[in-house]
Structure 1
Amino acid sequence: MSIIKRNYTFPSVFDDFFTRELFNWGNDNFSASNTTVPSVNIKESEDSFDVEVAAPGMEKKDFNITLNGTTLTISSEKQQKEEKKEENYTRREFSYQSFKRSFQLPKDVVDADKINAKYENGLLQLTIPKKEEAKKQGPRMIEIG
């Protein structure tokens, strides 16, 4: 008879408790540099792809949207400087926000020249129209000869 040592490990709520931030449970919305990346909704309709990016506190001038081939990149960089005359402060915090999100668009489907973007009430909205030949066609009758 041989003796086999078994190592039982049970995932524990306590392990999870000590490895997560206290007020940020389940939030995986961070980049590799641990900065917040805005949430994105992408919806496909018959005529277009609609992209919504939640980015409150930004302005239109803070965004850069580029299309390189079939890669759509949305990025933003905002540095907030607080101008105060007083120099006798005990605490002053700088604010710097940036993010970059890239999406691969379907090849030969989108009409790149007609992409439209608007920013309103903390929501960046992009409409990416489909080419006419890529739009879904309704069923057609095929005659039997």
Structure 2
Amino acid sequence: MSLERARELVRILEAQMPERMPAPPNTEIGERFDRQLIEGQGRRDGRDIHMFPPHLRTWFDTLSAEDVQKLERLMAVKAETVAWIDAKNGRELQKLDGAVEFITSSRTAAKVLIWIGGMAVAFVGGVAALAKNGIDLFSMLRGGR
């Protein structure tokens, strides 16, 4: 059966339908039907969530692409880590946040100190090399060697 013949059959059945049984016009097909379904759910972005309960639909509406990536990373965390965090109370989690900030700042300070130490060693080595070469140059100019 061709598509045009199927549409004609639907029109014929639709014309006879109100006489037999009142029904809503649900014979929309294609993009128009999809648009009506999305508009019926209050969605404009095309995500298909009409099967979820209302509280999940509201939550899904607030998620951005970055939020989904963050959630995927959190779901990839080991089960032991999740159980450990779950066992902590709010006060311990706040202390844990402070510990993370301290460790991050300590790492930054360590990197700065490594750079300062490296530059000090390079400076002392450069001064020694220049002093030796300066003495050698001065002795050549005086006629020695």
TM over 0.5: no
Larger helix proportion of the pair: 2
The TM-score, its normalising length taken from structure 2, stands at 0.22
The structure with higher relative contact order (CA 8 Å, sep 6+) is: 1
The TM-score, its normalising length taken from structure 1, stands at 0.22
Larger strand proportion of the pair: 1
Decide which structure has the larger Cα Rg and report it: 2
